[in-house]
């Protein structure tokens, strides 16, 4: 897995943070916390959810069933990481992204909230590095360009209130998804550098 774009964000009063884009499989990355694109029943499923549960083993589903009664859309819950602990992952954060219904059903607010809640839980758990997939951008049908913009804006904003988190990595499975996030990151970098002169985009395509 190779990082191809890194945005360095200054945070007044805190250590700077980076937002990184990588192409690959989120179950192989070494970070403190991995975010899962779950469903509101926390019932497991296909896509990245299936991949994370397969890699982590049955322990995750047991803990989800014991501690939580589902997860409202726009929210998130946290568990241990099962076998993912073998490469240093300590937490899995299960986020409920919205199904895309055309854009008039509060999708943007709910997607933003899923990212912000995930980042808050990661911060409360003391995580320094967090990996995200493109929540809602697979089976749930969120348009890639919009999903990328909402994701990056939310994580940039959420890093302000989760000072322990110094590294947010988007692990993107397909070339299309990576390209959409790279374009959105370039736009975010331009906007952020006007507000924060210390902002730098590195290793861009
Ligand atoms: P949702 O139901 O929220 O749309 P999906 O799992 O269908 O969730 O898709 C979310 C994103 O995760 C998609 O961009 C999909 O390509 C991607 N994805 C699927 N498997 C993996 C994986 N192992 N690592 C990272 N991303 C993945």
- For the chain, 205 residues long, give each residue's pLDDT as a single digit of tens: 555 789 998 888 899 999 999 999 999 999 999 999 999 999 998 999 999 999 999 999 999 999 999 999 999 999 999 999 999 999 999 999 999 999 999 999 999 999 999 999 999 999 999 999 999 999 999 999 999 999 999 999 999 999 999 999 999 999 999 999 999 999 999 888 888 777 788 864 4
Q: Are the C-beta atoms of residues 120 and 84 closer than 8 Å to each other? A: no
Q: Are the C-beta atoms of residues 192 and 199 closer than 8 Å to each other? A: yes
Residue 141 CA, closest ligand 1 atom number: 4
Q: Is the dihedral of CA 26, 7, 120, 175 positive or negative?
A: negative
0.85 surpassed by pTM? yes
Instruction: Judge if the beta carbon of residue 140 lies within 6 A of ligand 1.
Output: yes
pLDDT at 193: 82
Domains located in the chain, CATH noted = 2-196 (3.40.220.10)
How do strand 2-11 and strand 200-202 relate by DSSP bridges? antiparallel
Specify whether 49 is catalytic: yes
Instruction: Judge if the beta carbon of residue 166 lies within 6 A of ligand 1.
Output: no
Q: Is 15 exposed, middle or buried (0-12, 13-18, 19+ CB in 10 A)?
A: exposed
Which residue's entry shows tokens 């940039």? Answer: 156
Residue 174 CA, closest ligand 1 atom number: 16
């Amino acid at each position: 897995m190779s990082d191809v774009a890194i945005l360095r964000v200054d945070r007044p009063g805190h250590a700077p943070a980076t937002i990184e884009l990588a192409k690959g499989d989120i179950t192989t990355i070494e970070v403190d916390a991995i975010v899962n694109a779950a469903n509101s029943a926390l019932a497991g499923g296909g896509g990245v959810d299936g991949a994370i549960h397969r890699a982590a083993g049955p322990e995750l589903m047991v803990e989800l069933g014991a501690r939580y009664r589902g997860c409202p859309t726009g929210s998130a819950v946290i568990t241990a990481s099962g076998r993912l602990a073998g490469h240093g992952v300590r937490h899995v954060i299960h986020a409920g992204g919205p199904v895309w219904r055309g854009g008039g059903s509060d999708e943007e607010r709910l997607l933003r909230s899923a990212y912000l809640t995930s980042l808050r839980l990661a911060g409360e758990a003391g995580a320094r590095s967090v990996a995200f997939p493109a929540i809602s951008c697979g089976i749930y049908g969120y348009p890639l360009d919009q999903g990328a913009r909402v994701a990056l804006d939310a994580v940039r904003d959420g890093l302000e209130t989760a000072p322990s988190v110094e590294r947010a990595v988007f692990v993107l499975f397909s070339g299309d998804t990576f390209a959409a996030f790279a374009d959105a990151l370039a736009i975010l970098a331009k906007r952020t550098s006007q507000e924060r002169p210390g902002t730098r985009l590195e290793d861009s395509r």
